[in-house]
Structure 1
Amino acid sequence: MDGELIPRDRAEVAPGAVLVPDWLDLERQRELVAACREWARPPAGMRTVQTPGGGVMTAKQVCLGWHWSPYRFTATVEDGDGRPVKPFPPLLGELAHSATEAAYGEAEPSEYDVALINYYDADARMGMHQDKDERSDASVISLSLGDTCVFRFGNTESRSRPYTDLELRSGDLFVFGGPSRQAFHGVPRILPGTAPAGLVLTGRLNITLRVSGLDRP
């Protein structure tokens, strides 16, 4: 938040789950927002995700490296225009290594190869879920851009309590791995109008970086 009186501190929310506030400066945030706008363009652009049960996710999504559709990864946008997924850019790989180093004190050796980019408008939500479709136990990296969200980080056994509600603001880094890798998590609320004025973004972008553990066909 602009004009923060007391800077927020790095916090370990649970074993292996670390919040690093204000990790991205405004210039890097602008660069990532501009990149997201390009990645969202067709072909293989941003789409609405439908679950096998017929539900529709309120956050829209575009994927890089591998395409995710509930609940598997593919090389093409099978639930969209059928085109090959856009490549995973080197800049996100570099950010991934810097992010794990910032969270844990040393970079994970894994080669990150998947980005899921979710766009939330003021009414979008994300239910409690686990990131369990990867064939890797490498940490999940979350980068927040734009409006602040309430991020609910739970336990590994169920969607119910105990959980912790955090505010993730633009520029924040959240990494979860190790004992918390399979923790349930979600976004129950967006706080509209809280994005930095210089970002020129309405809503929230969340970039999650993962290691698929998959081999290219």
Structure 2
Amino acid sequence: MSALIPRPAMEVAPGAWHVPGWLTLAQQRELVTACRAWATGPVPIRHTRLPRGGVMSVQTVCVGWHWQPYRYTRTADDVNGRRVAEFPDWMVRLGRRAHLEAYGDEHAARDHTPDTALINFYDGQARMGMHQDKDERSSAPVVSLSIGDTCVFRVGNTETRSKPYTDIELSSGDLFVLGGPSRFAFHGVPKVYEGTGDPATGLSSGRLNITMRVTGLT
């Protein structure tokens, strides 16, 4: 069997970088183990209820700060009132490496200090509608990591949920960084391809998406 040829990094839109295969299989397994631990508490993974009564199809658990539509708090008042798990130093280092990989700016990467992560689990039926990540008080890039099943990731514009947008596939181990002029671009996940993940990641089915952000909060 011939070795897989790494796909090159691609700037999908100004400031929006896709780096295929950025995480090794071992790194993916470590992240799956960490996410499983966070999913059990202190604030467990759940389907987030939206203000108008809808329920998100993805399941979410947070680290560092708790996200509830549409704000961040230290305690999960919409779940069990407990404080979420601390954001670990190793994730700060991971976010900085991702920033450097995307933009090649060592000074900016050293200053990049994510303090929260939203971890979304998609089963085969889960979707994410077009939205902006704009609840943060910082415009620092959002670092997104994918593990498990491949998905269609839709990257749009900053003005509207509709076209123009670009669809790409995010596979297990891929890095996507949304920053610069595209930091507040609408984006979403219209489809997950069931059964495309490698069980060697530690995830037998579904897709994990870990998004590290700088909240700008103290």
Normalising by structure 1, what TM-score? 0.95
Distance 1:108 1:151 in 2: 28
Paired residue for 1:208?
211
Alignment of 1:9-24 (within 5 A): 9-24=8-23
Instruction: For residue 85 of structure 1, report the CA deviation from its aligned partner.
Output: 1.1
- Give the letter for the 1:15 counterpart: P
Q: Counterpart in 1 of 2:181?
A: 179
Cα–Cα, structure 1 residues 3 and 89, in superposed 2: closer, same or farther, change >3 Å? farther
Q: Which residue is equivalent to 2:149? A: 147
Structure 2 SS opposite 1:205: strand
From the superposition, tell whether residues 4 and 146 of structure 1 become closer, same or farther in structure 2 (CA, over 3 Å). Answer: farther
Aligned partners of 2:122 and 2:61: how far apart in 1?
12
2-side partners of 1:42 and 1:200: how far apart?
Answer: 19
Deviation at 1:78, TM superposition (A): 1.2
Q: Report the AA paired with residue 211 of structure 2.
A: T
Identify the match of residue 165 of structure 2 among 160, 163, 166. Answer: 163
Pairs aligned (count): 214
CA distance in 2, matches of 1:56, 1:4: 43
Distance in 2 between the 1:102 and 1:3 partners?
27
Give matches, 1:1-217, under 5 Å.
5-106=4-105, 107=109, 109-201=111-203, 202-215=205-218
Q: What is the alpha-carbon distance in structure 1 between the residues aligned to residue 6 and residue 115 of structure 2?
A: 33
In structure 2, list runs of 5 or more residues that go unmatched.
none
SS at match of 1:141: strand
Consecutive unaligned residues of structure 1, counting only runs of 5 or more, are none
Q: Distance in 1 between matches of 2:30 and 2:178?
A: 24
TM-score, scaled relative to structure 2? 0.95
Equivalent AA in structure 1 for residue 215 of structure 2: S
SS of match in other structure, 2:151: strand
Shift in alpha-carbon separation, 1:39–1:155, aligned structure 2, 3 A: same
Evaluate the alpha carbon distance shift between residue 78 and residue 4 of structure 1 in structure 2; reply closer, same or farther with a 3 A threshold. Answer: farther
> Distance between the aligned counterparts of 1:198 and 1:126, measured in 2?
26
Alignment partners' CA distance in 1, 2:42 and 2:134 = 27
| 3-state DSSP of counterpart to 1:212 | coil
Distance, in Å, in 1 between the alignment partners of 2:148 and 2:198 is 7
Percent of counterpart pairs with the same letter?
60
8 Å CA contact 2:95–2:112 kept in 1: the answer is no
SS at match of 1:136: coil
Q: Does the C-alpha gap of structure 1 residues 3 and 60 become closer, same or farther in structure 2, counting only changes over 3 Å?
A: farther
CA–CA separation in structure 1 for the residues paired with 2:94 and 2:41: 24
Q: 1:111 to 1:204 in 2, by over 3 A?
A: same
C-alpha distance after superposition, 1:23-45 (max 9, x if no partner): 00000000000010001112211
Moved more, 105-114 or 53-62: 105-114
How far apart, CA to CA, are the structure 1 residues paired with 2:131 and 2:88?
26
Select between 45-54 and 104-113 the one with higher mean Cα deviation. 104-113
Question: What is the one-letter code of the residue matched to 2:128?
Answer: M
Q: Quick check: 124-133 or 190-199, which moved more?
A: 190-199
Deviations 1:160-216 (A, max 9, x none): 00000010000000001110000000000000111123123110000000000001x
